[in-house]
């Protein structure tokens, strides 16, 4: 059981590098879960990075750079694919780049809260490129690709197809560390209340109201109603409204990875999820 350390305004949760939980959230958990189970709920919280668009940037060009020191990458745009690295395809179609994130900049934002913030679980350098099949025709989760490549390559022009190119306008983003809580759909929370599922449901709703759902999140828990691949955890979640992309009735896309693959940087095994309105 996690140790609960209280102060006037915060509750510190050891383990997994989770920042302090605000006092009002801790009180809410105690009210719903009780004194015995509250520390177990605290132990489920995860750290994440919320990505927000950077406004008023300079001309970003194809590379997606911006005149801001805190830019950690971008959504959309063209990928910085090194020579010899093929543009990912699915069903003989070029995939669409959804995000290009700088691992060193993400790590700096993740660790900016201090030395007690825990370790950075993703690579320390290079770029993470997130591709998916914009047609969203594969319901097995295999219509995506995540590449970890060295930084410094020029942007690769998108392949030409009968439907045009798969690129979407680039959106530079900054990152801030944030708490992430499970929802009632996550078994880890549900299992704490085997005799009364409504406690988990009500608690998850309370937490969702206290910890607003961002449009883009790295790591953490899933914020949407998409299916959860068994044994996987979210790597990246993107709401459709943050990109100038036409996904039909799809409202969000997510990338999922197992804890073992996350620890070993095996991004070739990442799975995709998406939710249709």
According to the model, what pLDDT value does residue 31 have?
92
According to the model, what pLDDT value does residue 4 have?
33
pLDDT above 60: residue 246: yes
What is the residue-averaged pLDDT of the chain?
85
Model confidence at 74, pLDDT cuts 50, 70, 90, reads very high
According to the model, what pLDDT value does residue 276 have?
86
Alpha helices in the chain (DSSP H): 23-42, 103-110, 187-190, 197-210, 259-264
pTM value > 0.85: yes
Model confidence at 19, pLDDT cuts 50, 70, 90, reads low
According to the model, what pLDDT value does residue 29 have?
94
Q: Compare 59 and 154 and report the one with higher pLDDT.
A: 154
According to the model, what pLDDT value does residue 124 have?
93
Give whole-number Cα distances, 51 to 43, 138, 161, 178, 218, in Å: 24, 27, 31, 10, 8
According to the model, what pLDDT value does residue 115 have?
53
**Model pLDDT for residues 112-161, shown as the tens digit of each residue:** 865 555 678 999 999 999 999 988 888 888 999 999 999 999 999 988 87
According to the model, what pLDDT value does residue 62 have?
39
DSSP per-residue codes, 152-195:
TPPPPPPPPBTTB------EEEEEEEEEE---TTSHHHHTT-TT
For 49-179+215-276, CATH gives 2.30.320.10
H-helix or E-strand spanning residue 148: strand 144-149
Neighbour tally for 66: CB within 10 Å = 22
3-state secondary structure of 206: helix
3-state secondary structure of 30: helix
Domain chopping of the chain, boundaries? 49-179+215-276
Of 99, 56, 55, the residue nearest 216 (C-alpha) = 99
**Model pLDDT for residues 183-221, shown as the tens digit of each residue:** 988 999 999 999 898 999 999 999 999 888 899 999 999
Model confidence at 11, pLDDT cuts 50, 70, 90, reads very low
How do beta strands 46-53 and 171-180 pair?
antiparallel
Q: Which of 15-19, 60-64, 164-168, 229-233 has the lowest mean pLDDT?
A: 60-64
């Amino acid at each position: 059981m996690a140790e609960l350390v209280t102060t006037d305004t915060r509750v510190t949760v050891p383990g997994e590098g989770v920042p302090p939980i605000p006092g009002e959230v801790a009180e809410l958990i105690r009210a719903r879960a009780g004194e015995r189970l509250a520390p177990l709920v605290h132990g489920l919280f995860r750290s994440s990075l919320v990505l927000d668009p950077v406004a008023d940037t300079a001309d970003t060009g194809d590379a997606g750079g911006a005149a801001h020191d805190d830019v950690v990458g971008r959504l959309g745009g063209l990928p910085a694919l090194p020579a010899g690295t093929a543009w990912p395809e699915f069903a003989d179609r070029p995939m669409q780049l959804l995000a290009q994130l700088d691992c060193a900049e993400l790590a700096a934002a993740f660790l900016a809260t201090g030395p007690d913030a825990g370790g950075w679980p993703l690579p320390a350098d290079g770029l993470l490129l997130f591709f998916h099949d914009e047609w969203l025709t594969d319901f097995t989760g295999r219509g995506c690709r995540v590449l970890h490549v060295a930084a410094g390559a020029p942007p690769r022009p998108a392949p030409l197809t009968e439907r045009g190119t798969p690129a979407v306008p680039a959106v530079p983003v900054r990152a801030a560390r944030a708490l992430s809580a499970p929802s009632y759909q996550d078994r880890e929370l549900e299992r704490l209340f085997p005799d009364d599922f409504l406690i988990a449901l009500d608690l998850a709703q309370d937490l969702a109201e206290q910890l607003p759902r961002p449009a883009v999140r790295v790591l953490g828990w899933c914020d949407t109603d998409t299916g959860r691949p068994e044994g996987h955890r979210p790597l990246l979640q993107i709401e459709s409204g943050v990109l100038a992309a036409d996904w039909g009735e799809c409202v969000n896309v997510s990338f999922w990875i197992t804890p073992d693959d996350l620890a070993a940087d095996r991004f070739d095994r990442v799975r995709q999820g998406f939710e249709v309105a």
